[in-house]
Structure formats: C-alpha cells, structure tokens
Amino acid sequence: MQGILYGCEMPMNYPYGLSRNPYPSSPTPTEKDAQILGGTRHIQAKESILECITDLYRQSSKHQSNENDFRLITVIQDVGCGKTHLALHIKGLRMRQNIESTYVDLATISPKTKESLYNAIIAGFNPSTFEELREKFLKDICDKADKGDLLAKKALGYRFVDKLVGTTIQDKTEDILNNKKTHSSENLKKYLASNYTSHESLVIQNIIDKIFEPISNLDEFLGRLSAVSKFSHNLLGKITVYTFDELDADPSSAEIVKSIINRHIPSSAVMLIATPAEYSEIKETNVSLFDRLEKANYKIDLAGSNSIDELSEIAIEYIKQNKKSERFTKKQQNDLTGKIRVLCDEFPDFTSVRSLTNILYHAMEKSSQLSHEEISEEALDETIKNAFPGLKVHDSILDVPIGQFLKLRLESAENKSQSKIKEAISNLVNFAHDTGKITKPENSKRMLDAIYTDQYGTKIGIAVVMGKDHAKNSTSIENILKASAFVDKLLILTNTNLPKNPQATIINIDKVKMVDLLYFSNRYSDNKILEPENEKIHTLAKTISII
C-alpha cells in the first residue's frame, strides 16, 4: 500500500525485493537503459564488435592516425530484436574501452542531407569528448606561447598589459578554459592556419569556440569528420565509432554513407544497422553501396535474438543487475521464464526484446501496486488488457483470461496434469448430465475415467492418457483398448500423436484445449459457472465428442 510519510511519498516496493522497476519505460532504448545487456546472442555480438575495435586500436596505436586504420561493421536483423540497444550499449562503453562514439538514428533525420547528417553526427558525440579536446588544444597553444610563439600568444589574447599586472600565460589559458575570459578568434584562425590543414583548423576553431559551423559540401563533411577522428586518436588515444541506425535505401543518406566508407575515416569504425528488408532494398537500388556492405570486416546477424530462451535471459538480466544485495533465486528465475515462454508461445507479437520489456515494465508496476512478491499472472493479465484491449487467447473456447491462461499452462506442464485433466473430464461429463445433454454416468468406471449414455442410447467411455513419456502412453492406450468391450464407443483423450484406430476415437488435446478444460473444472468445482457460459461449455464438450 502506498501513502505519505511526513510529507514525503513512501517508496514503492517492487517484486523480487527491488526498490525500483528494472525494465525500461521508453518504447525505444535510451543510453541509460542500454547499460544492461543480456542474452547470449547479444553478448556474443558485443564481443565481436569489441574484438573489431580492439584489433583496430592495437593496429592504430603503433603510429599516428591514417586512412588504413578503418573498419566496417554491419548489424542486420528485424525490428525489435535489440539492434539499437546493442549499439547504445557499445556507445556507453567509451570510458572503459578507449572508444569515442557517436550514434545517429537516420529514421529521425529529414531531409537526409550532408548538412543534417553532419549536425546529427556532431550532436551524437558525448559533450565531454569535445571538452577534453578543447583542453588539449588550448594547453598546446599555451605551451607554444610559453616558448615565445607570438601567434600562439595572440591566439590566447595575451597582451603586454596582462604581463604587467602579473597574469601568466597559464593563468590566461585557465581563464579561457573556465569560460572566465575569451580568446582572440581572429588571431586563433591565423595561428591554426599556420599549423594545421584547413579542415583541421576549422574543427579546432569550432571546438574552442564551442560552436560548430555548418558545412557546404561533401569535401567539408568528410574532411571535418576525419579531423575529429584524427584528434580523438592522436590526442585522446581513442578509436572513434560512427554508428548509423535504421540504414535504408534513401538515395541521399546511402550515398553519404558510401562516401564515408570510401574515405576510410582514419582511426575509426563505422557500424551500420539495418533490417533484412532494408538490406535487400539497398541491394536492389544501390549496388555499389551493397558491395561495400558485403565486404564489411565484421557482419553481425542477430538471428535467434528473439528466441524465447534469449528473451528470458534478457528479462532475468535486468532484475539481476538491479538486485545487487540479494539473490534472485533460481526458482524465481524459472518461474519468470515459464511465464515468458507461455506468453511468447501464445502471442508471437510479444517475441521481441522491445515488446517483452514493455510488457514486463507495466507488469512490474502492476505487481507493485498489488503488493505481489513476483510478477504475477494477475498483473500480466491486467497489463495486457490495458495495453492490448480485446486481445484474447487464440482458439480458447471459454475466453480464458490471459492471467489464468498463463497460470494453467504452467500447471498443465507439471507431472500431475493427467490427474487434473481426468478430473476435468469427469466434471465436464457431470455438467453435460446436469444440463440434460447426456444421462448420468455410471459409478463403476473400471479402467475408464468416465462412462455415460448419449441422447441416442449409445454407451460411451472416456479414457485420459497424457504424459511426457509417449511410449508409455501408447502402452497404456493398448491396455485400455483390450478392456473396453463393455462400451459401445470409446474416446481416448491424449497428447500423443497416434494413428486412427478402428476400436476408438483418438482425440488430441492441445495446450489451449487443456487450459480450457482446467479453467472450466476449477470454476465448476467452485460453483462459479454462470448460465450465460453454458453454451461455450457445451461447445467445449462437443470438441471432444462428449455431446
């Protein structure tokens, strides 16, 4: 229960002993969300990307930055598989992996021009990258000014009057770094022009001025990116990773990306992220770009990242990373995995990282409101009803609520499922008798689970044979067939695929029908059947030939 304590909101307690909801609330990943990376396939992909970057770093660290120090990485898979999450996770590793990185979502840029892409690339860098470079540049100018370089002194705006009042060149530089004083922009341009190329000079000027000027052509675009990468490598000792997400066949962006690849931006890796559909379209519309993508140093396919096992690993990792002080028990992990498996089996639309984490976020919130110690079936049911109104379990005759479906599916997987289904069949036969569809079953069942007479006077026997050992099931059915001569018709309900048999009607009970039977049986035993439900229950009985 939530409330107010001494004017403050009481903190919410979340399932599994958590103090906060571990799942991302945003429909698209953020850098903060991407700090956590789970799932075997995603971790393998991360290791491949880092191997590429490490190899590049090892190669480039032997010399000053040059165009031979370039790598291309492609990441291909469907929407919602975690491509963006992986890219943002790599971006977040900059401090630990000698990486400077920028991330651009091409889908958010319109129109896709050289100017708009350049602005997005610069904005995608962490601001601290340029702060570090600014300090390096100003201190380098300071060192040269200290050694008597007149242009360097003028660039810092250091004058004779500064010397008279006791201000040193170092003091002047520190004031500029701390934004207490300004440098001389005009003299800085002259100093840079005498020491660097035109593109390098402009980039340094922009970094010191903290204002990036617009570009006007492709040569400026490529030249300035090369300068940024060169400085990051030579001054900061870092590799620059340029990530372009949502790569498509748009002619403008495709040509710019191809130009970046052709230029071999020094000491850098370009990571391109696309769906298989977009990749195929690039193949059809831009053969030269496709040829370059096919020759990528590392081609990462996230196939399998939407498997139930992978999704479960990801869901569990979020909780593990947020539950540092206590153990997230194996039993709790298995329970959550079971619920995810049922959820994804029944609703294929949920089998993506994005969809599943969204559901788990809301289910976690709802479980907290209900004061449940784990993500409960009730919370999942409420979440799906609210987020996907009208969504129902496919093929469920009784429209079993999703929460109940999850619970009963898990129960039906247990070893006791056969005895529960036998009880359900007995209850269904009794219900059919109560509603006048058949005559009351006899008390003596022998090897059968129910015996009754239909409206035509036919004596019918029912046997339930279910279990994981299908060979054992087949043997049990053979024994039942030998002892069934006292009924006119025999129905065998089983989860084992068997050929047609002239002695009996074999009815396969799939998972949904099993849940329907268990749901009915529970409500029947608790006297909760309402008259409007009778027709649906009769339909269920017809599907297994009881009426």
Spatial CA neighbour of 23 closest among 321, 332, 288: 321
Work out the average pLDDT over 394-404: 89
pLDDT the model gives residue 65: 57
pLDDT at 9 over 60: no
Helix locations, 370-415, DSSP H:
377-387, 402-412
How many whole angstroms separate alpha carbon 126 and alpha carbon 100?
A: 8
pLDDT single digits (tens) 473-486? 888 888 888 878 88
Q: Judge contact between 243 and 104, C-beta under 8 A.
A: yes
pLDDT the model gives residue 470: 76
Q: Judge contact between 38 and 313, C-beta under 8 A.
A: yes
pLDDT the model gives residue 94: 63
pLDDT the model gives residue 95: 55
pLDDT the model gives residue 361: 94
Q: Judge contact between 177 and 135, C-beta under 8 A.
A: yes
Spatial CA neighbour of 245 closest among 351, 104, 415, 408: 104
pLDDT at 4 over 50: no
How many whole angstroms separate alpha carbon 541 and alpha carbon 210?
A: 75
Least confident of 160-169, 173-182, 430-439: 160-169
Q: How confident is the model at residue 105 (pLDDT cuts 50, 70, 90)?
A: very high
pLDDT the model gives residue 463: 92
pLDDT the model gives residue 142: 95
pLDDT the model gives residue 445: 59
Work out the average pLDDT over 443-471: 84
Q: Name the more confident of 355 and 131.
A: 131
Region of 157 on the Ramachandran plot (φ > 0 left; ψ -120 to 50 alpha; else beta): left
Q: Mind listing the domains of the chain with CATH numbers?
A: 15-22+307-412 (no CATH), 40-301 (3.40.50.300), 430-543 (3.40.1350)
Peptide bond into 15 cis (omega under 30): no
Burial class (CB in 10 A: 0-12, 13-18, 19+), 235: middle
Burial class (CB in 10 A: 0-12, 13-18, 19+), 97: middle
List the structure tokens of 357: 């984490």
Least confident of 165-169, 358-362, 460-464: 165-169
Least confident of 194-203, 207-216, 395-404, 414-423: 414-423
Least confident of 88-97, 131-140, 217-226, 277-286: 88-97
Model confidence, pTM: 0.79
Pick from 46-55, 93-102, 216-225, 384-393 the range whose average pLDDT is largest: 216-225
List the structure tokens of 104: 């651009």
Q: What is the mean pLDDT of the chain?
A: 89
List the structure tokens of 384: 């799906």
Handedness of CA 255, 301, 84, 37 (dihedral sign): negative
- What is the percentage of the chain residues whose pLDDT exceeds 70? 94
Please report how the helices 218-236 and 114-124 are oriented relative to each other, as an axis angle in degrees rounded to 10. 20
pLDDT the model gives residue 30: 84
pLDDT the model gives residue 443: 62
pLDDT the model gives residue 203: 97
Least confident of 3-7, 131-135, 238-242, 509-513: 3-7
Give 493's strand partners: 464, 507
Give 460's strand partners: 452, 489
Q: Which residues contact 334 (CB under 8 A, 6 or more apart)?
A: none
pLDDT at 1 over 80: no
Coil, strand, or helix at residue 69? coil
pLDDT the model gives residue 256: 95
Q: Judge contact between 317 and 42, C-beta under 8 A.
A: no
pLDDT single digits (tens) 270-297? 999 999 999 999 999 999 999 999 999 9
What is 480-531 written as a DSSP string?
HHHT-TTSSEEEEEESS----BTTBEEEE--HHHHHHHHHHHHHHHTT---G
pLDDT single digits (tens) 405-439? 888 888 877 667 888 999 999 999 999 999 999 99
Burial class (CB in 10 A: 0-12, 13-18, 19+), 462: buried
Helix locations, 147-215, DSSP H:
150-156, 160-164, 169-177, 185-193, 198-209
pLDDT at 73 over 70: yes
pLDDT at 368 over 80: yes
pLDDT at 248 over 90: yes
pLDDT the model gives residue 158: 87
pLDDT at 254 over 60: yes
Q: How confident is the model at residue 61 (pLDDT cuts 50, 70, 90)?
A: confident
Spatial CA neighbour of 224 closest among 107, 143, 96, 125: 125
pLDDT the model gives residue 6: 39
Q: Judge contact between 73 and 269, C-beta under 8 A.
A: yes
Give Cα separations from 20 to 31, 318, 453 (angstroms).
18, 11, 59
